[in-house]
Amino acid sequence: MAELAEALGVPPSAMLIEPDSLNTFENAAYTQILLANLGIERILLVTSAMHMPRALAIFRKQGFEAVPAPTDFHVARDPQDPSQKTWPGRVLSLIPQTDNLHYLTRALKEYLGIAVYWLKGWL
């Protein structure tokens, strides 16, 4: 991410990098230590929209005043889509799509993550 930020024009001197975390909880904990030394409590939390509820709860539990900035939104097909009003469109909409399995897997991972983090006391 640092390389991408730099490629987009962010100078390295403007970056603080937390390289040690292996999960969202560790990222929040290590970032809290890094930023506490600088007196920073308010942050802009950037992550995917699907991951935001868990990430926001974790960062807030670490004491941050975290402002959510979700990215990577996924949207469903508009129920008013004209192609759904014809009989071929209705028939085709009954065929399962692999994309939906992907989205279900991602959603289940987030719900499972929330449950595990709650059981560990991280939320």
Amino acid code (one letter) for 76? A
- Single-letter amino acid code for the residue at 63: G
pLDDT band for 77, please (50, 70, 90 cuts): low
Q: Residue 72: CB partners within 8 Å, gap ≥ 6?
A: 48, 49, 50
- Decide if 55 contacts 70 (C-beta within 8 A): no
**H or E stretch including 67?**
strand 65-71
Q: How confident is the model at residue 81 (pLDDT cuts 50, 70, 90)?
A: low
The count of structural domains within the chain is 1
Domain that holds residue 96: 2-74+84-119
Does 78 score more than 90 pLDDT? no
Is 79 inside a domain boundary? no
Measured distance CA(99)–CA(105) in Å, rounded: 10
Selection from 3, 35, 42 nearest residue 18 by Cα: 35
Residue 70: pLDDT over 80: yes
Q: Is residue 89 part of a domain?
A: yes
Q: Which two tokens stand for residue 27?
A: 């990222």
